[in-house]
Amino acid sequence: MAEDKHVMTMLVDNQPGVTSRVTGLFSSKGFNIESICGSPTNDPNVSRITIVTAANPPVIEQIEKQLRKLVNVIKLRSLNGPKSVRRELALICVHAKAEQRAEVLRIVDIFRGKIVDAGLEHFIIEVTGEEAKIQAVLNLLKPIGIKKLARTGMIGLIREPK
Amino acid sequence: MMTGAQILMNILKDENVDTIFGFPGGAVIDIYDELARTGIRHILVRHEQGAVHAADGYARASGKVGVCLVTSGPGATNTVTGIASAFADSIPIVVLTGQVPTHLIGNDAFQEVDIVGITRSCTKHNYLVESITDLARILKEAFYLARSGRPGPVLVDIPKNIASAKTDFTPPGDVRLRSYNPTYRPNQKQMREVVRLLQAAERPLIFAGGGVILSKGAAELTHLAQTARIPVTTSLMGLGAFPGSDPLFLGMIGMHGTYAANMSASTCDLMLAVGVRFDDRVTGKTDAFARQAAIVHIDIDPTSIRKNIPVSVPLVGDCRISLQMLNEMTGTAAGDAPSPARVEWLGRIAEWKRTQPLSYHQGESIKPQHVVEKVCELTRGEAIITTEVGQNQMWAAQFYRFDHPNRFITSGGLGCMGFGLPAAIGAQIACPDQVVVDIAGDGSIQMNIQEMATAVQYNLPIKIVILNNGYLGMVRQWQELFYGRRYSSTRMNHAPDFVKLAEAYGAVGLRATRPEEMEPVLKQGLAERKPVIMDIVVEAEEGVYPMVPSGAPITEMLLV
């Protein structure tokens, strides 16, 4: 069965060790985590963890059930398709000598990125978007030379009813 | 003002705990000091693993939550195997571990281990108490989590300074956890679908597991099967959920299941699976399992459903409540004459049972199966049986007839050697008037033999029947069948003299080596009012049959 990327977001008790319970579940059951992102919500007792995983549908079903079984997981939703918004932020440090600077700036402009740090031989670029957009920026910057890369992993929210 | 230790005693009394199994140490000395002033009985084991198995045996025999108390560090790590066994079999226990004082946590203090981290994946949930104000709530939650939903072990790690700190104690109210609400009542619409399938089925089969016993649903299951004339097989954990002496009972399914059970599973057109999790020892090759059947799966744990086997109708709910509803909904059909198709189905099963019953050949030496049959006969099938793990466990499951739930106590999921003796101690404390027999092997019994001292200290008249074949028999059997008889490290030729060992502990030791000695020894041993070890020297290379090779379809059985 085909393995598809799957984004899930969950509200969890904001207590020590909860992230470890979630990630421990993935490692002990042999599931994989592509990215994980967690932080407190507007309720300080509750955190939101968003995980991207790749698995076939029966395994996804099992992952979701296992996560819901954790006593500290309050609520879990899938974040796939048009009913949700998903974003990731990437900081990309690229080589940028004189002859490349214009090209880099053009790419940043096309993707509505920002230069957040600049030196004689580098830029640090900030880009936000869905995974496809981040991937597209990286594809264009790769030939110029990516020195360092940091990505937050996916976050997202379900859209409210219109 | 109350100390943490006093709060703990308060909650234990509130939870009707009358017995705890434990072993003291520095980090729990305040708790032990307080414990001695209460009416709660403390059973001093000789190794912390024994405490957990004993609490497990106590929980299974009594249906209550078992409790154990150990110190930090090695005391805590010694509980891990017991916890993992209780977790695999969904047994409600609360494990209280001492911890170094909060200001030392993380400093590699003397007898410090991160037991919450270590047991995260083998507990239903666990807690480190970080403030005395949380203690009462956490303890109440621990008991609630242990026994509700799919039961399981819960560990509470209590730092030494929390046990001695003082606070104003207000009894916590009912536990409410917004993130934990087990579904007890199954979906009505799904239930109607189950009724429709049951009424349409020509070759139905009930496959019952430990969930039926844990939910106290054996009577409901028995009623359903007997009224609707549906044959029943069980997993190892389900033995006793349906009377073993009922003609509708097929015996256990799976790797060492009966011919009739395994053939029925492969031939049935409807499998009503209740409180099971389709372990690999049950299913064999999953693609070939119950290929002709629509499978209805009732379980309180949604993760059990569709984990190993695809099912036609998933039903999340408590087994007893679900069976009760099924009985009510199918009530009208009761008493009807069975359809011709059903008569034919029951006839086919009777034929399988007749042509391939569980059997063995008598010989010059004592046969272990014969010993178990004799124990069953002499205890009229009414004893509580615990087992070690391996051949002894399978023979006990095959040749003892279980007519009631909570009488067969075995480490099913984890398969933990050394389980039977401490579990027998726990069961005997839960049921002082019952005969408790540990069917053991000469290998397994040595894994927690130190608990003989516990049995003698508390004058628990447990009966240990060692099926002594001088081998780690189950591994030897695999080596015989699949590894060219190369008996690598399975010969146990330096066992102690078990009779002398029993006597050294202050127990009774008996031995039988010839077939004619077996029954008198069992009779004498069972009549004793003291702990007894009966060393029964049995055929060395006897095997457990039927046997399905690992990973093969369960219809591919090696027979006697």
Q: Which of A78, A103, A134 is the last residue of a domain?
A: A78
Instruction: Say whether both A88 and A73 belong to one domain.
Output: no
- Point out the residues of B that are catalytic: 48, 110-111, 160, 474
Instruction: Report the pLDDT averaged over residues B59-82.
Output: 98
Q: With bands split at pLDDT 50, 70 and 90, how would you rate the model's confidence at B334?
A: low
Q: Tokens standing for B92?
A: 């409600």
Long-range contacts of residues B321-325, Cβ cutoff 8 Å, at least 24 apart: B321/B184, B321/B185, B321/B186, B321/B215, B321/B217, B322/B186, B322/B191, B322/B274, B322/B298, B323/B212, B323/B217, B323/B220, B323/B221, B323/B223, B323/B224, B323/B274, B323/B298, B324/B217, B324/B220, B325/B185, B325/B186, B325/B191
| pLDDT at residue B333 tops 60 | no
**Contact status of A73 with chain B (Cβ, < 8 Å):** yes
Instruction: Report the pLDDT averaged over residues A129-151.
Output: 96
Contact B154, B95 (CB under 8 A): yes
Instruction: Report the pLDDT averaged over residues A50-56.
Output: 95
> For residue A26, what are the domain limits?
4-78
Q: Which of A78, A100, A124 is the last residue of a domain?
A: A78
Contact B444, B416 (CB under 8 A): no
- Please give, rounded to a whole number of angstroms, the shortest distance from the CA of B305 to a CA of chain A: 9
Average per-residue pLDDT in chain B?
96
Residue B244 is assigned to a structural domain of this protein? yes
Return the residue in B303, B306, B307, B309 with the most chain A beta carbons within 10 A, the one to mutate for interface testing: B303
Instruction: Say whether both B199 and B274 belong to one domain.
Output: yes
Q: Tokens standing for B232?
A: 């029943």
- Please give, rounded to a whole number of angstroms, the shortest distance from the CA of B153 to a CA of chain A: 13
**Contact status of B307 with chain A (Cβ, < 8 Å):** yes
Which residues of chain B does A17 touch, with a Cβ-Cβ cutoff of 8 Å? Answer: 116-117, 120, 128
Q: Which of A78, A108, A133 is the last residue of a domain?
A: A78
- pLDDT score for B408: 98
- pLDDT score for A2: 76
Instruction: Say whether both A9 and A73 belong to one domain.
Output: yes
- pLDDT score for A3: 79
ipTM: 0.90
Instruction: Say whether both B423 and B320 belong to one domain.
Output: no
Chain A residue nearest residue B316, CA to CA: A65
Put simply, the answer to whether B302 touches A58 (Cβ < 8 Å) is no
Q: Give the C-alpha separation, B389 to B217, whole Å.
A: 26
- pLDDT score for A81: 87
Amino acid at B363: G
Report the domain count for chain A: 2
- pLDDT score for B560: 85
Beta carbons within 10 angstroms of residue B431's beta carbon:
16
Residue B558 is assigned to a structural domain of this protein? no
| pLDDT at residue B522 tops 90 | yes
Q: CATH no. for residue B374? A: 3.40.50.970
Distances from the Cα of B413 to the Cα of B19, B112, B416, angstroms? 26, 29, 8
Which residues of chain B does A73 touch, with a Cβ-Cβ cutoff of 8 Å? Answer: 179
Put simply, the answer to whether B306 touches A58 (Cβ < 8 Å) is yes
- pLDDT score for A48: 97
Which residues of chain B does A65 touch, with a Cβ-Cβ cutoff of 8 Å? Answer: 302-303
SS3 at position A127 = strand
- pLDDT score for B45: 98
Q: Give the C-alpha separation, B57 to B93, whole Å.
A: 10
User: Which residue of B116, B177, B302 is in closest CB contact with A17?
Assistant: B116
Which residues of chain A does B124 touch, with a Cβ-Cβ cutoff of 8 Å? Answer: 71
The 10s digit of each residue's pLDDT in B420-440 is 999 999 999 999 999 999 999
Q: CATH no. for residue A37? A: 3.30.70.260
Instruction: Report the pLDDT averaged over residues B357-371.
Output: 96
Residue B478 is assigned to a structural domain of this protein? yes
User: Which residue of A24, A69, A75 is in closest CB contact with B120?
Assistant: A24
The 10s digit of each residue's pLDDT in B102-154 is 999 999 999 999 999 999 999 999 999 999 999 999 999 999 999 999 999 99
Report the domain count for chain B: 3
Residue B559 is assigned to a structural domain of this protein? no
- Please give, rounded to a whole number of angstroms, the shortest distance from the CA of A140 to a CA of chain B: 42
Instruction: Say whether both B256 and B333 belong to one domain.
Output: yes
Residue B318 is assigned to a structural domain of this protein? yes
* Lowest-confidence segment of A125-129, B69-73, B217-221, B492-496 by average pLDDT: B492-496
> For residue B384, what are the domain limits?
368-537
Instruction: Report the pLDDT averaged over residues B305-333.
Output: 92
**Contact status of A62 with chain B (Cβ, < 8 Å):** yes
| pLDDT at residue B332 tops 90 | no
The 10s digit of each residue's pLDDT in A79-122 is 988 999 999 999 999 999 999 999 999 999 999 999 999 999 99
Return the residue in A71, A72, A73 with the most chain B beta carbons within 10 A, the one to mutate for interface testing: A71
Percent of chain B whose pLDDT exceeds 70: 99
The 10s digit of each residue's pLDDT in B341-354 is 999 999 999 999 99
Amino acid at B162: I
Instruction: Say whether both B524 and B461 belong to one domain.
Output: yes
| pLDDT at residue B233 tops 90 | yes
| pLDDT at residue B336 tops 80 | no
- pLDDT score for B298: 98
Instruction: Say whether both B374 and B332 belong to one domain.
Output: no
Residue B554 is assigned to a structural domain of this protein? no
Residue B179 is assigned to a structural domain of this protein? no
Q: What angle is formed at CA A94 by the lines to CA A89 and CA A97, rounded to 5 degrees?
A: 150
User: Which residue of B117, B121, B177 is in closest CB contact with A28?
Assistant: B121
Furthest CA-CA distance within chain A: 56
| pLDDT at residue B337 tops 80 | no
Contact B447, B418 (CB under 8 A): yes
- pLDDT score for B335: 59
**Contact status of A71 with chain B (Cβ, < 8 Å):** yes
Q: With bands split at pLDDT 50, 70 and 90, how would you rate the model's confidence at B331?
A: confident
| pLDDT at residue B74 tops 80 | yes
Instruction: Report the pLDDT averaged over residues B265-293.
Output: 96
